[in-house]
Amino acid sequence: MTTATTTRATILRQHLIDPEICIRCNTCEETCPVDAISHDSRNYVVNVDKCKFCYNCISPCPTGAIDNWRHVQAETAYPLAEQLLWDTLPQQVALEDSAPAAAGSSSAVLPDEVERIAAASTSGQGGVAPPPWSAAHPYINLYSIQKPAVANVSGNFRLTAEDASSDIRHIVLDFGNASFPVLEGQTIGILPPGLDAAGRPHHVRLYSVASPRDGERPRYNNLSLTVKRVTADHEGAPVRGVASNFLCDLKKGDKVNVVGPYGTSFLMPNHPGSNLLMICTGTGSAPMRAMTERRRRKSIPSEDGKLMLFFGARTPGELPYFGPLTRLPKEFVDINLAFSRVPEQPRQYVQDLIRARGDDVAHLLRDENTYLYLCGLKGMETGVDGAFSDICGRHGLDWKSLRTELLQQGRYHVETY
Amino acid sequence: MSIDYNQKIPNNVNLSENKTLQRALEHWQPEFINWWKDMGPDDSQNFDVYLRTAVSVDPGGWAHFDYVKMPDYRWGIFLNPAEAERKVNFGAHKGEAAWQEVPGEYRSNLRRLIVTQGDTEPASVEQQRHLGLTCPSLYDMRNLFQVNVEEGRHLWAMVYLLHAYFGRDGREEAEALLERRSGDADNPRILGAFNESTPDWLSFFMFTYFTDRDGKYQLCSLAESGFDPLARTCKFMLTEEAHHMFVGESGVGRVIQRTCEVMNQLKTDDVAKIRAQGVIDLPTIQRYLNFHFSVTMDLFGADVSSNAATFYNTGLKGRYEETKQDDDHQLSDASYPVLEVGDGKLLTVQAPYLNALNERLRDDYVRDAVAGIERWNKVIQKAGIPFILSAPHKAFNRKIGPLSAAKISPAGKVLSEAEWTHHHLQWLPSIEDRAFVSSLMGRVAEPGKYANWIAPPARGINNQPIDFEYVRFN
């Protein structure tokens, strides 16, 4: 794998502005928080050394000129002087390892839309953090959109109660003879069949793997996903999620096009004594289940650290894996469930429980072997951050600096949507 | 900085905490809506338009797209987030903390700046109100309406400042902004260019390219203001203004592209043959360009102006990209070149920099405007046609300042009255030119269809396809 590693280190996704479409309105330069964008009387250009992929400049651009990307070898990235002379954007140059990945060979070049989703989901922590030092080496991008893997559905079970308002499902995909290695915390991409209203193929949708690395069923070549049927958008307006409905309606034996795997950051530590502090809502439980399951299967109690889980849902009936979770031994995992819509009970959110368990949480935060994972709806970030801040304040810690330290050490991972 | 849309007037300035101001603006709001219904886009109040609305002022939130009926558009008050410990960055007060209230001694000048800027916003809506009836496509119609509602919002931005900081005078000025009418002989808009009519879509594209770009430069200099609420207001307006220039630049580009296609099909540059195919010949486009460029030159004001000096020296209005300039930001001893007519030709003379600030802004503008003309030339060049569009001299066809007394050709040559009379129709659109362009205007309102005289855009709005139903008629 030396070649792949070298390639991974040297291929960049360079942000560029299309000079043919750009109208030099200066909005991007004004918006960029790190001054990566500058201009002369001819072109607006992006400094490859400064751009942090925050995407703040994308939506204010009135023309779409800002939304251009080229994969380049780091040493031959387009310098500013060259960009300033362009009349048109150069074509994507074929890189040695960037041709559509043949099954089984790895490429470091991720599809644009996958990069976009990954960037949005980690924006809460200020971009992708390094993985834990003891994480296993992940395989990524083995299957491209041009050459997806085809998986067989070997199971589709409803996880939420029949009367619950949400339909969350546990879907098991079998890869037959194809190699599809994943680690806990990684995601895979699903390509829904058919075309959208504009006649284009649907975008890829990413799902966290809910099973550990040895499969949902050990020694079989399979993995599981936790999928919620989307029937409304973030504002509550009715909308039929293309991929989630496709997945939730799958029957045993159906075929699914899968791309990936993706993710080199949200991975679990593997060294003895490492603690996992996991906070999730709804289907954000998928990676937590994978990690918990991994620890449960290889459990050597003397070696393993503590597992603490904060899990939020509207009601017990809507909490995926509620039954199996409550049967796990207390000494194995410290589970805290928050329900926000149980009739006649005060609304409780994960941050309330984190505060209530402040002493134990602070104890874990002080331990340099503790790794934090946050996964679920974007809205939870602020509340959880506030809870950590309070707890730290009460226990003589400074959350702001601790958080920076955790991020730098690959000990804090956020994936929200 | 999320915007509170539960309020009658969406805002991010905690309007509900200032009841007096809230009441005053709620009193102005129905007058604004009445003005919109009277003077806003003609015969289109019931259309569902695919518009962009800001839901917050941070990068993620201000471009939210949905179908909206224009009178229901959520006009409101949005300021960019405050910059901690911002300073006055130029003039006599350089280095002092930026003002959060109006300094008493500068009150009337500041009000004048705000009223002048504010007056252009409803004026352009009035100028463009009939264009929806002759749109070349649903895509263009939507872009027109987006420009219109955002000009309406810019009026709100200025009216907020008048109401919040100028008391009774401010409220009266805010009412007067709804009373003046573009082109009205008795009660016209303040600036000349905003009393010209925008009779056809080529004029509209030229206007949004050239004249809205003046808006950009004015807003950029006001965004440097020592009066912090004005600076923050203008910063956010600039984000919206970008769309207007996009409409202009891409609009003219598409007209040129279509003309070049027809010229290549016919293998001719014969104006009559080109016009017979229902597209606009390149010389006519050059004449429209000359007209709009020169009218916009006047918007920057007199070449040597004591007002400009005062506005700068008192910290009210800076230069374009003031903080990026490498000088003392006070300019008391510096000079700047301006033009004068002497000896039958244009002479460059040095004027005190402070007095020449209008000229400085005009020069910044010209550099920017010329760059876009070069893009249009690339379209012509790509089609292999030997024709070059160019910006006229900045002294050409001026109506304001000392240069207005002289007759100057697009190349910058001083002409006699007789020479001007003889040649000017080669340089400015004639009645026949305008009549011809008007004759092409007819509404095309089927998704994906584009009028014969304009090429479809390269891409749609918000990544929608170009045959998207950007406007739904009800």
Q: Is A218 on the interface with B (CB under 8 A)?
A: no
- Closest alpha carbon within chain A to B249: A23
Identify the sign of the CA torsion B178, B179, B185, B188: negative
Distance of CA A338 to the CA centre of its chain: 23
Contacts of residue B241 in chain A, CB cutoff 8 Å? 25
Contacts of residue B248, defined as CB under 8 A and 6 or more positions apart, other chains included, come to B205, B206, B207, B208, B209, B210, B212, B213
B443 falls within a domain: yes
B6 falls within a domain: no
Contacts of residue B379 in chain A, CB cutoff 8 Å? none
- Residue B116: Cβ within 10 Å count: 15
Same domain, A213 and A290: no
pLDDT of A2 strictly over 60: no
Take residue A27 and report the two structure tokens written for it. 């909005």
- Which of B243, B256, B463 should we substitute to test contact with A (largest number of A Cβ atoms within 10 Å)? B243
User: For each of chain B's 474 residues, which pLDDT tens digit applies?
Assistant: 466 767 788 888 888 889 999 999 999 999 999 999 999 999 898 999 999 887 777 766 667 888 999 999 989 898 988 888 999 999 999 999 999 999 999 999 999 999 999 999 999 999 999 999 999 999 999 999 999 999 999 999 999 999 999 999 999 999 999 999 999 999 999 998 899 889 999 999 999 999 999 999 999 999 999 999 999 999 989 888 888 999 999 999 999 999 999 999 999 999 999 999 999 999 999 999 999 999 999 999 999 999 999 999 999 999 999 999 999 999 999 999 999 999 899 999 999 999 999 999 999 999 999 988 999 999 999 999 999 999 999 999 999 888 999 999 999 999 999 999 999 999 999 999 999 999 999 999 999 999 999 999 988 888 788 999 999 998
Please give the pLDDT value at position A102. Answer: 35
Q: Is B249 on the interface with A (CB under 8 A)?
A: yes
pLDDT of A333 strictly over 80: yes
Provide the chain B residues 363-422 that lie in CB contact (below 8 A) with chain A. 367-368, 370-372, 374-375, 378
Same domain, A189 and A277: no
At residue B396, what is the residue type? F
Decide: B91 and B314 in contact? Cβ < 8 Å.
yes
Instruction: For residue A240, give Cα distances in angstroms to A58, A231, B98.
Output: 26, 5, 50
* Mean pLDDT (whole number) for A30-47: 91
Cβ pair A26:B378 closer than 8 A: no
Q: How far apart are CA B381 and CA B379, in angstroms?
A: 5
- Which of B65, B78, B219, B375 should we substitute to test contact with A (largest number of A Cβ atoms within 10 Å)? B375
Q: Which residue has the tokens 């020169």?
A: B294
The CATH number that applies at residue A177 is 2.40.30.10
- Residue B1: Cβ within 10 Å count: 15
The CATH number that applies at residue A406 is 3.40.50.80
Among A93-97, A224-228, A409-413, B392-396, name the one with the lowest average pLDDT.
A93-97
Cβ pair A26:B246 closer than 8 A: no
Decide: B441 and B280 in contact? Cβ < 8 Å.
no
Helix axes B138-165, B167-179, angle to 10 degrees: 150
Take residue A127 and report the two structure tokens written for it. 């971009």
Q: Would you give the DSSP letter of residue B354? A: G
pLDDT of A106 strictly over 50: no
Same domain, A275 and A128: yes
Among A99-108, A110-119, A345-354, B144-153, name the one with the lowest average pLDDT.
A99-108
> What backbone torsions phi and psi does residue B208 show, to the nearest 5 degrees?
-70, -30
Cβ pair B242:A20 closer than 8 A: no
| Tally of domains within chain B | 1
> What backbone torsions phi and psi does residue B352 show, to the nearest 5 degrees?
-55, 130
- Per-residue b or e along A236-247, where b marks 16 or more CB atoms closer than 10 Å to that residue's CB: eeeeebbbbbbb
pLDDT tens-digit readout, A181-193: 999 999 999 999 8
Nearest CB neighbour to B372, from listed A23, A61, A63: A23
- Closest alpha carbon within chain A to B243: A62
Same domain, A372 and A299: yes
Same domain, A171 and A217: yes
Which candidate, B275, B337, B343, places its Cα nearest to that of B304? Answer: B337
- Closest alpha carbon within chain B to A29: B239
Preceding amide of A192 cis, omega within 30 = no
Cβ pair B367:A21 closer than 8 A: no
Q: Is A80 on the interface with B (CB under 8 A)?
A: no
B122 falls within a domain: yes
Contacts of residue A96, defined as CB under 8 A and 6 or more positions apart, other chains included, come to A7
Please give the pLDDT value at position A8. Answer: 39
A21 falls within a domain: yes
A389 falls within a domain: yes
Decide: B361 and B320 in contact? Cβ < 8 Å.
yes
B4 falls within a domain: no
Cβ pair B368:A30 closer than 8 A: no
Contacts of residue A45 in chain B, CB cutoff 8 Å? none
> What ipTM was predicted for this assembly?
0.70
pLDDT interval class at A137 (50, 70, 90): confident
pLDDT of A164 strictly over 90: no
Q: Where are the alpha helices (DSSP H) in A85-207?
A: 112-121
A117 falls within a domain: no
How many residues make up chain A in this entry?
417
Contacts of residue A229, defined as CB under 8 A and 6 or more positions apart, other chains included, come to A166, A167, A168, A169, A241, A244, A245, A248
| Tally of domains within chain A | 3
The CATH number that applies at residue B318 is 1.10.620.20
Same domain, A288 and A408: yes
- A313 forms beta bridges with A339
By the 10 Å C-beta count (0-12 exposed, 13-18 middle, 19+ buried), B341 is classed as middle
CA angle B295, B299, B305 (to 5 degrees): 130
For residue A45, what are the domain limits? 2-98
For residue B76, what are the domain limits? 15-472
pLDDT of A3 strictly over 70: no
Same domain, A11 and A94: yes
B9 falls within a domain: no
Which residue would you say has higher pLDDT here, A98 or A390?
A390
pLDDT tens-digit readout, A263-279: 888 999 988 889 999 99
Q: How far apart are CA A354 and CA B454, in angstroms?
A: 61
Contacts of residue B464 in chain A, CB cutoff 8 Å? 198
Please give the pLDDT value at position A127. Answer: 63
B3 falls within a domain: no
A139 falls within a domain: no
Same domain, A371 and A383: yes
A406 falls within a domain: yes
* Mean pLDDT (whole number) for A67-78: 84
B232 falls within a domain: yes
A113 falls within a domain: no
A114 falls within a domain: no
Give me chain A's average pLDDT, please: 84
- Closest alpha carbon within chain B to A32: B59
Nearest CB neighbour to A23, from listed B245, B465, B468: B245
Provide the chain A residues 86-115 that lie in CB contact (below 8 A) with chain B. 87
Rg, chain B, Cα only: 23
A53 falls within a domain: yes
Q: Is A198 on the interface with B (CB under 8 A)?
A: yes
Contacts of residue A57 in chain B, CB cutoff 8 Å? 59
Q: How far apart are CA A205 and CA A118, in angstroms?
A: 11
Please give the pLDDT value at position B59. Answer: 67
Q: Is A20 on the interface with B (CB under 8 A)?
A: yes
pLDDT interval class at A99 (50, 70, 90): very low
Same domain, A231 and A271: no
Contacts of residue A25 in chain B, CB cutoff 8 Å? 216, 241-242, 245-246
**3-class SS at B336?**
strand
Question: How many Å lie between the alpha carbon of A134 and the closest alpha carbon of chain B?
Answer: 35
Same domain, A211 and A289: no
B144 falls within a domain: yes
Please give the pLDDT value at position A95. Answer: 63
Q: Is B216 on the interface with A (CB under 8 A)?
A: yes
Q: Are strands A255-262 and A222-228 parallel, antiparallel or unpaired?
A: unpaired
Q: How far apart are CA B193 and CA B252, in angstroms?
A: 19
Same domain, A277 and A408: yes
Same domain, A12 and A67: yes
Q: How far apart are CA A279 and CA A287, in angstroms?
A: 10
pTM above 0.80, yes or no: no
